[in-house]
Amino acid sequence: MSAESPEPKEQAVAASDDTTAASTEPASSGGDRWREAYFRIISGGWAVSLGAVILAVLAGSLMIMVTDQGVQAALPYFFARPGDTFAAIGSAVGGAYAALFRGAVWDFRADDFAGAIRPFTQSLTMATPLIAAGLGVALGFRAGLFNIGGKGQMLVAAAAGGWVGFGVSMPFPLHMIVAIVAGVAAGAVWAGIAGVLKAFTGAHEVITTIMLNYVAFYLVSYMLATPGLLQAPGSSNPKTPPMQDTAVMPDLLGPRYNLHWGFVFALIAVAFVWWLLNRSKVGFEYRAVGENPDAARVAGINVPRTTVSVMLVAGGLVGLAGVTQVLGTVTTGFSYDIDAGIGFDAITVALLGGSQPIGVLFAAILFGAFKAGGSVMQAAENVPIEIVTVVQALIVLFIAAPPLVRAVFRLPQPGARWTRSSRKEVAA
């Protein structure tokens, strides 16, 4: 992490001169500082990611510590008997993280291996939509597009896939495949709207994707409350009927585990995005546009078309996340918060994964583990579930803050070297 390796002052100044020189090279220098900061964030190496997770977990322990009643009881007489305070801290923090581990990785209370490994499969289940949606956001990052519309794309995908799932009758594998395709297509179209607006009118994708979240939310809410659309017949609650068995993604490891085939589809998506970005001509165009749209245009790349196609693929990936929710995780019918905040968590996952497909995979599994473990931590130790959310937010803060703060306050950017070398690597 750049902040942890303070350079001698002369060197830092030299580096800053370097950066200024480099950043004034292209014609449009206004958005350039942001572009610069943005690339630092998204290509910020494994050390930053790991460090951010460690710092965030430490900060989480601090919060568990100060909110724990045992610690609060023991702290007033700290100097009289410090051991009590430390014992209380140990039991609060240790207990919380032990419960997190027990809920996310390995249940050491279980009788057999099959029971002990169950939490890990639960983490993978929770990770499934995060992998798919994280890939969608990461792909946008690599092409210089900030897709904040994950919520909307997931909702329309869930609605489309869900409608096919409960409303149409077909034999097993076909029904599931048609439902998946419908959801992925809906997500792609929803993100594609933002792509078209960006490509042909210049409307910023951050604004349009956020606005489309609202459109999707109220559209789906309306459909859920309207008999004949998504609402379950006979009910007046805003909820769909359960999915038909022929559309449900089968369990991957048998009925004892919740892990479903959606996880396999997410892994296929990882391989696909890796191939797309690193081995295909289209992916090269994506990255070229992301690095510098002006240069890409001069080099003969059709930038508007590339923008639309990036958003279509990204939306399709996020759509896959929406479909795995309704056909895999919650098959008993869904309501309007089926996105479960994954559209936004996916941004964190993409950042933590350095916008690399493999990185996204591991970041998503980590977040899936947080989600799965959070339930048990809350149930077993009465640690509020919000701690997990705060830890996730802190991870973003730690990843994003050092370069971002410098860009905002026009401080010299140390570490210009790795930026350039990473650019070289990308170009190679």
Partner 1 sequence: MKTVMRGVALAAATALALAACAAAPEESDTSSAGDTATDSTTAESIDYTACIVSDAGGFDDKSFNQLSYEGAKKAAEELGAQFREAQSDSETDFQPNLEAMVSEGCNTIVAVGFALSAATVESALANPEIGYVLVDDAADNDFNGEKDAENIKPLLYDTAQAAFLAGYLSAGYSQTGKVGTFGGQPYPTVTIFMDGFKQGVDYYNSVKGTSVEVVGWDGKDGSFTGGFEANDEAKSIAAGIIDQGVDVLLPVGGPIYQSARDAIADSGKDIAMLGVDADVYNTDPSVASLLLTSIMKNMDVSTYEAIMAAGEGNFDPTAYVGTLANDGVGIAPLHDFESKVDPALMTEVDQLKQDIIDGNVTVTSYLSGS
Residues that bind partner 1 (CB under 8 A): 3-4, 68-71, 73-81, 84-85, 87-92, 95, 103, 107, 109, 122, 126, 218, 221, 225, 233-239, 242, 258, 325, 329-330, 332-335, 337-341, 371-372, 375-376, 378-380, 382, 384-385, 389
Counting DSSP H helices and E strands in the chain, the numbers are 18, 0
Closest CA to 355 of 283, 282, 265: 283
Contact 228, 321 (CB under 8 A): no
Shortest Å, Cβ 84 to partner 1: 5
For residues 314 and 347, give the distance between their C-alpha atoms in angstroms, rounded to a whole number: 12
For residues 101 and 317, give the distance between their C-alpha atoms in angstroms, rounded to a whole number: 29
Shortest Å, Cβ 88 to partner 1: 4
How many CA atoms lie less than 13 Å away from 63 in the CB half-sphere? 17
Q: Of 357 and 368, which has the nearer Cβ to partner 1?
A: 368
Our measurement of the distance from residue 264's CA atom to the centroid of its chain's CA atoms, rounded to an integer in Å, reads 18
Q: Of 144 and 238, which has the nearer Cβ to partner 1?
A: 238
For residues 154 and 187, give the distance between their C-alpha atoms in angstroms, rounded to a whole number: 6
Shortest Å, Cβ 83 to partner 1: 9
Q: Of 27 and 79, which has the nearer Cβ to partner 1?
A: 79
Q: Is 247 helix (H, G, I), strand (E, B) or coil?
A: coil
Our measurement of the distance from residue 117's CA atom to the centroid of its chain's CA atoms, rounded to an integer in Å, reads 25
Shortest Å, Cβ 374 to partner 1: 9
Shortest Å, Cβ 362 to partner 1: 21
Cα dihedral 324, 328, 333, 338 sign: negative
Shortest Å, Cβ 246 to partner 1: 18
Q: Of 16 and 258, which has the nearer Cβ to partner 1?
A: 258
Shortest Å, Cβ 375 to partner 1: 4
Q: Of 49 and 307, which has the nearer Cβ to partner 1?
A: 49
Q: Of 134 and 359, which has the nearer Cβ to partner 1?
A: 134
The tokens for 270 are: 């990882």
Shortest Å, Cβ 65 to partner 1: 10
Q: Of 276 and 399, which has the nearer Cβ to partner 1?
A: 399
Q: Of 92 and 363, which has the nearer Cβ to partner 1?
A: 92
Residue where the block lists tokens 């892994």: 267
Show the DSSP H helices in 113-171 as ranges. Answer: 113-116, 118-142, 150-167
For residues 109 and 83, give the distance between their C-alpha atoms in angstroms, rounded to a whole number: 28
Other C-beta atoms lying within 10 Å of the C-beta of residue 210: 15
